[in-house]
Amino acid sequence: MNTLTTAAPAPSASPARDTATPTDRPTPAVRHVAHYVAHSVLATLRDWAFLAFVVAMPTTMYLFFANIYGDQQSGANNGASVAAVMMVTMATYGALGAAMSAGAQIQTERATGWFRQLMLTALTPAQFLVAKIAVAVTVIVPAIGAVFVAGAARGVRMDAGTWAASGALILVSLLPMVVLGLVIGLWLKQAAAGAATTLTMLALSMLGGLWFPLDLMPDAMAAIGRTLPSYWAGRIGTWPIAGGDFPWQGVWVIGIWTVSLVVLGALGYRRAVRTSRR
């Protein structure tokens, strides 16, 4: 006796687009952050005053002082040339200004009502801070690069790895200064934030030894300077050039500043949101 068997229909192939998973595309949060970062970077790079302050002025200061002292050797930096050490400290000074510019952007956003519009998006406080840090890191690069180009033109010679290591260490070391600029912009009103940012940057540059070595300062000022991230950013950035033991103390100082300022920045963002809704 014949048995009739019915074969089940073969499953049809699904279109390729049906097999795509949600992870193949950027999440809405990533798109929001990326769009905000791109908008902020373009707005910053269009600001000629910003470019003059964080790119032209440090480069000019470096060339001026290097022409006076640059041919000497730095005994405090294992015999590295003064021109190379000054190049790093002036690059750190320019990068410091670029890092703290994030606070000025917030004040502009609050004054124009753009900050109120941001509250209607899905940006969380953490994403807001990440976006602002990304913007500041992006604009720090030309601040460092301009002084490095001036140093190379003047005769500073290093291998590619040393150039890259010095620039990268300066950038990473100044991350707490990005958050400091945000804290000032979030906690202070527009009339006070600009002056506070400028004065803070000048104080960090002077007391942090970016203009004059701490050895030339009174003991009390030098002691204060060693607690500042600006001083250690310069020291850490100089390490690939000068060699010697890595300044691990500076890593601890920078880490403490970063954690403390991130907490203040998150609290300041929530406060700014509440006051902007009134």
Query: Across the strands, what pairs with 117?
Result: none
If one counts every other C-beta atom within 10 angstroms of the C-beta of residue 28, the result is: 10
Phi, psi of 73 (to 5 degrees): -105, 145
pTM, full prediction = 0.80
Average pLDDT, stretch 226-233?
Answer: 96
Average pLDDT, stretch 39-61?
Answer: 82
**3 state SS of 119:** coil
Phi-psi region of 11 (alpha: psi -120 to 50; beta: other; left: phi over 0): beta
Average pLDDT, stretch 100-109?
Answer: 73
248 token code pair: 């691990």
Query: How many residues are present in the chain?
Result: 278
More confident residue, 273 or 170: 170
- Cα dihedral sign for 129, 190, 44, 250? negative
More confident residue, 153 or 76: 153
Average pLDDT, stretch 54-64?
Answer: 90
127 token code pair: 């994403």
Phi, psi of 54 (to 5 degrees): -105, -10
Least confident segment among 60-74, 80-94, 122-136: 122-136
- The closest of 247, 244, 242, 245 to 81, measured between CA atoms, is 242
pLDDT at residue 12, rounded to an integer: 46
The mean of the pLDDT values for the chain is: 80
Q: What is the pLDDT of residues 114-137, one digit of tens each?
A: 666 666 566 666 677 777 788 888
Cα separation, 201 vs 230, in Å, equals: 9
Q: What is the pLDDT of residues 250-262, one digit of tens each?
A: 999 999 999 999 8
Cα separation, 100 vs 229, in Å, equals: 13
pLDDT band at 153 (very low <50, low <70, confident <90, very high): very high
